[in-house]
Structure 1
């Protein structure tokens, strides 16, 4: 496993801290046209993802890519988790991975 360029776990609130860097976020797809996807982060903020294939609405997708700005991620890798996903656990993971346990994740 290549760890030379790790991706930070983020939600919508934490994304602005990583502009220009690799991030990993889960979004619930609201609309997708195969080029641009509009979704909702696990902390209920709107995010835009470029580079995802067309994903069914309401599915949860984990996206790894580069944070372009406060609301935009350019996707490199994605995993479709389907319609059921525990957003509270993921949101807590993001907080822990950017708080007191940051050294364990990056």
Structure 2
């Protein structure tokens, strides 16, 4: 585990405060467009995840670690499929607690 550059947990609302920094988010995949995922953040807002990503099916939840490159997008470095059943209610409160 690399602790030299920790990733802050964000949702779509908090992402603009961290542009240019390493972030971590969970996104529900709505659709894919080329090498991007269009998804829904834990706060029900739209996020775009860019980069060379594996093929994720719609409704799958994906944890993404990468660089916030705009107010609505993350350039993924690591992406992990966390399945189709995920506790969005619990996870949506984490960015507000930290």
Whether the TM-score (by the shorter chain) exceeds 0.5 is yes
TMscore range, shorter length: over 0.9
Q: Which runs of 5+ in 2 are unaligned?
A: none
Structure 1 Cα separation of the partners of residues 67 and 6 of structure 2: 11
**2:54 aligned counterpart, secondary structure:** coil
Q: Give the alignment of 1:33-44 within 5 angstroms.
A: 33=33, 35-44=35-44
Write the distance in 1 (CA, Å) between the matches of 2:2 and 2:59.
32
Deviation readout 1:37-94 (Å, 9 max, x if unpaired)? 1000000010000122220000000000000011010000111011100111111111
Aligned residues: 97
Q: Which runs of 4+ in 1 moved over 2 A?
A: none
Structure whose CA Rg is larger: 1
- Distance, in Å, in 2 between the alignment partners of 1:66 and 1:9 is 12
Aligned to 1:58: 59
Q: Which residue of 2 aligns with 1:19?
A: 19
Following the alignment from structure 2 to structure 1, what is the Cα–Cα distance between the partners of residues 90 and 45? 16
Q: CA RMSD in A?
A: 1.0
Decide which structure has greater strand share.
2
Secondary structure of 1:37's partner? strand
Structure 1: where are the runs of 5+ without partners? 98-106
Question: Match for residue 69 of structure 2?
Answer: 68
The aligned residue for residue 46 of structure 1 is: 46
Distance in 2 (CA, whole Å) between partners of 1:29 and 1:89 is: 18
